[in-house]
Amino acid sequence: MGLPNKQPPIRISLPTLTSDQEATVINLRQETDALASWPTGERLRALQRIIPRVQVEAVLAHTGHDRAVCRRLPGWFMVWLLLALGLCCRDCSRQIFRWLQPFRPGAVPGRSTLCEARQRVGIAPRRVLAAPVIQLLGQPSTPGAFYRGRRTMALDGFVLDLADTPAKARAFGRPGSGRAPGAFPQVRLVALCETGSHGLWRLLLKPRRHGEVSMAPDLLRFLPEGMLLLWDRNFLN
């Protein structure tokens, strides 16, 4: 189930900082735009290489999601498709299905079929996959990754818009003023980020009514010995 190799591989380099530059936290919009510019085949080949099928199948067995049999949309393929939705965030699920299985005969499943398959897989396999897949990337030679032998980390947060559904509005809430509620439900995300690579290492999602300061202690437990946490004075108030 390979992808046609039509594009040359892309080289990814970590940011180079001079001594007077600050390693800022990741800009999600800029990173999303940059990712969207990569060739589609390169993105999906990277997904299949970093998270191989055998690893996905092991996670499905661990979470008990390998029992439902669907030859057209097996669980391991749906996990890949769900992850690919983030890599190809400007494309619909049916188009991503075509890219993941370019040589498969037959029609592409309808949206309702793909939606039911997504619900069947659920969130648990992706949560289990996250721990071994999301790793620290900075090396001692990476500019901004270490200070006096300690890996430097940053703590920051932002708010994301969600799909406008009653269930998400109940769970996460909407922004608003005295006149009217906001157009979309929103979720607050606080993350431990690696300053050298700008990678989001560990993160926490909560309803937008929660503040960054109250969410921060839940992430501090992920800091092992040998890390140096950089945060702004907002967290000290």
Three-state DSSP class for residue 83: helix
Summarize pLDDT for 185-195 with one digit per residue, the tens.
999 999 998 88
Q: Which of these ranges, 105-109, 152-156, 211-215, has the smallest mean pLDDT?
A: 105-109
Residue 185 CA from chain centroid, whole number:
19
The confidence score (pLDDT) of residue 188 equals 93
CA 133 to chain centre: 11
Residues 192 and 155: beta-carbon distance below 8 Å: yes
Question: In which band, very low, low, confident or very high, does the pLDDT at 237 lie, cut at 50, 70 and 90?
Answer: low
pLDDT of residue 27: 53
Amino acid at 24: T
Instruction: Find out whether 64 and 121 touch, Cβ atoms under 8 Å.
Output: no
Four-point Cα dihedral 195, 198, 200, 202, nearest 10: -10
Residue 10: its pLDDT value, please?
A: 38
Look at residues 52, 188, 77 and name the one whose alpha carbon lies nearest to residue 132: 52
- Gyration radius of the chain's alpha carbons: 20
Look at strands 150-161 and 227-230 and give their pairing: parallel
Instruction: Name the residue type at position 138.
Output: G
Report field, pTM of the whole predicted structure over 0.85: no
Percent of the chain with pLDDT over 90: 8
Q: What is the mean pLDDT of residues 186-214?
A: 89
Note the pLDDT of residue 115. Answer: 86
pLDDT for residue 20: 41
Listed ranges 24-33, 70-79, 184-193; the one with the highest mean pLDDT: 184-193
Can you tell me the distance from the alpha carbon of 48 to that of 3, in angstroms, rounded to the nearest whole number? 10
Identify the pLDDT of residue 129: 87
CA distance 76 to 57: 6
Mean pLDDT of 177-183: 78
Sorted by where each begins, the domain ranges of the chain are: 28-132, 146-236
